Amino acid sequence: MNPQRFPFTRETSLFVLAYLYVPVVVLIAYSFNANRTATVWTHASLDWYGRILVNPSIQSAAWNSLVIAVSAATAATVLALLAALATRRAFLGCGASEAILNMPLILPEIAVAVATLLLFVSLGVKLGLGAMVAAHTAFCIPFAYLPIRARLDGISGTYEEAAHDLYANRFRTFRRVTMPLLWPGVMAGFTLAFVTSLDDFLTSFFLAGPGLTTLPVYIFSAIRAGITPEINAISAVMLVVSVLLVSLSFFLGRLRR
């Protein structure tokens, strides 16, 4: 063992890992439980996964979640890309612009959700899919912005100078050099925004309107009727999808070229 290490490093690490992941492991384990009562183990089964596949309300909630996440992540990524390009060179108020862009990371979501609801109601905006996409886009922007910005900072300005030198005007340079080099960052930003939207509960709950649910909202309402293994199964699916997408996002962000 490395003599420079602090004592109990291994023990502390194991404790923290357990602290973080035991609930998740329990959730996933019980999603394979055959017993109707979620907390009593009988034997392993895939029944609940089969049931969520054929449950129409889960299907529609999943579809809504997907539509909102794709739309919001796309809009947020486009806006974040423009913002990253605009804040590339320092200007007066550049820092302030970045702070404002990243504000949704810090603001309490409940306050923003209530504020958005009040605004939409007072403007007479119909609650539902459109309103949810608009609100999701807003809080997804920083999640798309950060990876794009990090990627952009890593691209030397010399490549663009070289493209200009080789007779490509500003538009051609963007299309042939900047964008291809930026692409992994854009994909990483999109993926992160997508997961953020997919997992959102508060904003969706406030703006859903009558008869519209997303997966997190469905889980919340179902759980009030009691924890069922079905909930475990949906949660496990969402968890795996999110982990895969976030891993993909990190991988894309670290992609060299």
Q: Nearer to another protein by C-beta: 46 or 161?
A: 161
Candidate ranges 52-60, 117-125, 174-182, 214-222; the one touching another protein (CB under 8 A): 174-182
Number of residues that bind another protein (CB under 8 A): 19
When asked if residue 122 is in the footprint of another protein (CB under 8 A), the reply is no
When asked if residue 90 is in the footprint of another protein (CB under 8 A), the reply is no
Sign, CA torsion 34/36/39/40: negative
When asked if residue 180 is in the footprint of another protein (CB under 8 A), the reply is yes
Q: Nearer to another protein by C-beta: 8 or 161?
A: 161
Which of 68, 73, 146, 163 binds another protein (CB under 8 A)? It is 163
Q: Nearer to another protein by C-beta: 51 or 164?
A: 164
Distance (Å, whole) CA 135 – CA 146:
19
The phi, psi pair for 33, rounded to 5°, reads: -85, 135
Distance (Å, whole) CA 52 – CA 60:
11
Q: Nearer to another protein by C-beta: 23 or 154?
A: 154
Tokens encoding 238: 């969402």
From residue 130, how far is each of 75, 126, 196, 211 by CA, in Å? 13, 8, 17, 14
Which of 38, 177, 198, 219 binds another protein (CB under 8 A)? It is 177
Q: Nearer to another protein by C-beta: 168 or 241?
A: 168
Q: How would DSSP label each residue in 72-113?
A: HHHHHHHHHHHHHHHTSS--TTHHHHHHHHTGGGTS-HHHHH
Question: Whose structure tokens read 């080789």?
Answer: 166
- Minimum distance from residue 243 beta carbon to another protein (Å): 29
Candidate ranges 56-64, 169-177, 195-203, 233-241; the one touching another protein (CB under 8 A): 169-177
